Amino acid sequence: MNWTPENYYFTQLNSAELPELIHFYLVTTQEHYKLHEYSEQDYHIDYKSLIGEDLVFFDQSIYYVLRSKVDNEIQASIRITYWDKETCLPIQKLFDIKTEDLLIPEVDHFWHIGRFVISGKIIGNRINILKKMLFDAFYGPYSLGSGLVIAECDRKVVNTLRKLEIESYQLGDPIIYLYSETLPIYIKSQWLETFIQKNKLSQCSEGNNTDIQKFITMSKDMLLDPKNS
């Protein structure tokens, strides 16, 4: 289906829709890498692992998805999570990265980004979808300042970020994860300056400001929680 605003709409995911998202993520990955030998057992193992992660992080996250107006199915997704500096991130398990390696000086807010995928069924000007999804996910960390966005990221996506003038720092050697070469990276919020300013007029909405308030509330709640003191 051709990309036009008349054919698709952006929205946020609720917890009841998580199984749908994980299914979309796995099927899209399978189709992208042409995994003809991807068995039902492989699917269930991956599904159990991914949905377990998302259930842990859901309340501290915002999921942005693109849905088709024709059948309402998800066609793109991205997740941004406010990290409490205690819950183990996927990047720590996959790359054996310690918490203290992520807690770099002069950073007040920590984030994790994931579930970023765009369906191969969408043809036409996909770059506008990519920019919109990234803008929504990055706008909060950038606006709050002194932040760090952490991710386990496909090498091609890292290269795409660089083309969009978003630099990243590689924390370790790549591995093959979910069938792609995956890098452990972080992005300082100030490195998002050029991308955000270039796209602010076309992509920013009232919803972005509302989402920032959600993250501010999260951070205050975590600071007040005795478990985090």
Q: 3 lies in a domain? A: no
* pLDDT at residue 190, as a whole number: 96
Angle between helices 126-144 and 206-224 (to 10 degrees): 40
Provide φ and ψ at 180, rounded to 5°. -135, 160
Q: 215 lies in a domain? A: no
CA–CA distances in Å: residue 28 to residues 76, 99, 151, 218: 9, 31, 19, 31
| pLDDT at residue 224 tops 70 | no
Number of structural domains found in the chain? 1
Provide the 10 A C-beta neighbour count for residue 5: 9
Q: What is the mean pLDDT of the chain?
A: 90
* pLDDT at residue 3, as a whole number: 63
Q: 221 lies in a domain? A: no
Q: 218 lies in a domain? A: no
Per-residue pLDDT tens over the stretch 42-79? 899 999 999 999 999 999 999 999 999 999 999 999 99
Q: 219 lies in a domain? A: no
Structure tokens at 177: 């994860």
Q: 227 lies in a domain? A: no
CATH of residue 200: 3.40.630.30
| pLDDT at residue 170 tops 70 | yes
| pLDDT at residue 225 tops 70 | no
State in Å, rounded, how far the first CA of the chain is from the last one.
50
Q: 229 lies in a domain? A: no
Q: 220 lies in a domain? A: no
| pLDDT at residue 27 tops 90 | yes
* pLDDT at residue 226, as a whole number: 46
Out of 28-37, 148-157, 187-196, pick the least confident. 28-37
Out of 34-38, 54-58, 82-86, 212-216, pick the least confident. 34-38
Q: Indicate the pairing of strand 8-12 with strand 74-82.
A: unpaired
* pLDDT at residue 229, as a whole number: 42
Per-residue pLDDT tens over the stretch 110-164? 999 999 999 998 887 789 999 999 999 999 999 998 999 999 999 999 999 999 9
Q: Cα torsion at 130, 132, 135, 137 (round to 10°)?
A: -80
User: CA 105 to CA 58: how far, in whole Å?
Assistant: 27
Are 116 and 157 contacting, i.e. CB atoms less than 8 angstroms apart?
Answer: yes
**Which residues span the domain enclosing 96?**
8-208
